[in-house]
Amino acid sequence: MSHIHVTNPIDEDVLADLRRSHHVTVGFGDDARGWGEVATTVEATIVRAETIDARMIASAPRLKIIARHGVGTDNVDLDAAAAAGIWVTTTPGANARAVAEHVFALMLTLIRRVREASSSVQRGRWSEERPSLTGGELNGRTLLLVGGGGIAALVAPIARGFGMRVVVADPYLAPEAAHELGVGLAGLDDALPSADVVSLHVPLTAETRHLLDDRRLGLLPARAVVINTSRGGVIDEAALVARLRSGALAGAGLDVIEAESIDMNDPLTHTRTDLTLGNLLVTPHVAGQTEEALVAVGRLAAQSVEQALAGRRPDRAVRDLAATAVV
């Protein structure tokens, strides 16, 4: 039986299927085992939030695959994995619909002032605050999608259904592809001044880190709302909070932050996210976490593991190992 280590919770049915054919250990719950306890025998790992660095890879001589339960790979040392002949896979598209819908959950909550309205009722004020709770409509507003990949391609038609005008800023998106999506194509700096909503859909790379910095945030009109369901590092959070506090931006909905954690006893972390701001909505990286998506993502990750353990190239490998693997 091959040894598979699952670092974070995945769908129970997927986990049960793996256990029927393999020895499975987990890094969570009552039976949690740390990497140091499993490294010498583990042959495959399914990873969600856990970081797999070069030291961990070097300590696992039998490891054949790191299967990401999701699409980002910023928590895996890809170079170290490739050098050790270890496959790294992702699950592209499996949770795209969930993330796309969460974009609108954040957008509507902010623009329709859902949180404030609910809080008013909870305080026993049914009509007293109603005049101050007037929200806006999505119809007629301009949505700027930063990045034109799979999730953005799902967001665009939903936005058009609300009557929004959709523009994409993506230097790698061909005009023909933009036409097929039914969206306009523009440079980021050119599109920001007329955007009512900005939704980020880019991976975190050296090129995209702080892509929305203070200068670019300054190009947005004061009515604008920023939505980020990609990676926290693509926004300069200090600059964003400063503009939200001053009223230079109407609101922000973040499913991701740079720290990927909140320590209420750490003034630096708390100040950076400033959870007391009424126009800032933060969810804990749950955009892709629906019941349906967890099943789909888990199945794809497990399929990649089975392929690698059988000695085959996984269908969703991030890169080929032929030129880099150490034999």
Report yes or no: 66 and 79 within 8 Å, Cβ to Cβ: no
Look at residue 316 and tell me if it is in a domain.
no
Tokens representing residue 33 in the block: 């085992």
Say what the pLDDT of residue 270 is: 65
Asked whether 283 and 106 are in contact (CB, 8 A), the reply is yes
Listed residue (302, 293, 222, 288) closest to 255, CA to CA = 288
Could you list the pLDDT tens digit for every one of the 327 residues in the chain?
Answer: 999 999 999 999 999 999 999 999 999 999 999 999 999 999 999 999 899 999 999 999 999 999 999 988 989 999 999 999 999 999 999 999 999 999 999 999 999 999 999 988 998 989 888 888 899 999 999 999 999 999 999 999 999 999 999 999 999 999 999 999 999 999 999 999 999 999 999 999 999 999 999 999 999 999 999 999 999 999 999 999 999 999 999 999 999 999 888 877 766 566 666 777 889 999 999 999 999 999 999 999 999 999 999 999 999 999 998 644 443
Nearest to 280 by CA among 233, 327, 227: 227
Terminal CA-to-CA distance of the chain, rounded, Å? 23
How far is the C-alpha of 115 from the C-alpha of 100, rounded, in Å?
Answer: 20
- Rounded Cα gap, residues 193 and 220, in angstroms: 5
Residues with a catalytic annotation lie at 231, 260, 285
Same domain? For 197 and 123 the reply is yes
Residues 126 and 257 in one domain: yes
Q: Are residues 60 and 170 in the same domain?
A: no
| pLDDT value, residue 324 | 46
Q: Is 10 among the domain residues?
A: yes
Q: Assign 192 to helix, strand or coil.
A: helix
Could you tell me the residue range of the domain that residue 80 belongs to? 3-94+291-309
**319: in domain:** no
β-pair type (142-146, 197-200): parallel
Domain count, the chain: 2
What does the block give as tokens for 86?
Answer: 């270890």
Residue 154 inside a domain? The answer is yes
Please give the pLDDT value at position 269: 64
Cα separation values, 8 from 11, 40, 298, Å: 10, 19, 11
- Answer yes or no: do 84 and 100 share one domain: no
Same domain? For 180 and 269 the reply is yes
In sequence order, what DSSP letters do the residues of 135-174 get, joined into one string?
---STTPEEEEE--SHHHHHHHHHHHHTT-EEEEE-TTS-
pLDDT number for residue 325: 45
The pair of structure tokens assigned to 192 is 């920001």
CA trace torsion 212, 214, 215, 217 (10° rounding): 60
Evaluate whether residue 298 is within a structural domain: yes
Bridge partners of residue 227, in order along the sequence = 199, 253
In-domain check, residue 315: no
Indicate whether 115 and 18 sit together in one domain: no
Helical ranges in the chain per DSSP H: 12-21, 35-38, 54-58, 78-83, 96-111, 114-122, 150-161, 175-181, 188-191, 214-217, 237-246, 267-273, 291-309
What one-character-per-residue DSSP string does 69-124 give? SSS--TTB-HHHHHHTT-EEE--TTTTHHHHHHHHHHHHHHHHTTHHHHHHHHHTT
- Name the strand (E) or helix (H) holding 199: strand 197-200
CATH code at position 58 = 3.40.50.720
- Judge if pTM exceeds 0.85: yes
120 and 264 both lie in a single domain: yes
Place of tokens 């301009």: 142
- Check whether residue 64 and residue 174 sit in a common domain: no
**What pLDDT score was predicted for residue 130?**
85
In Å, what is the CA distance from 85 to each residue of 210, 324, 327? 32, 7, 7
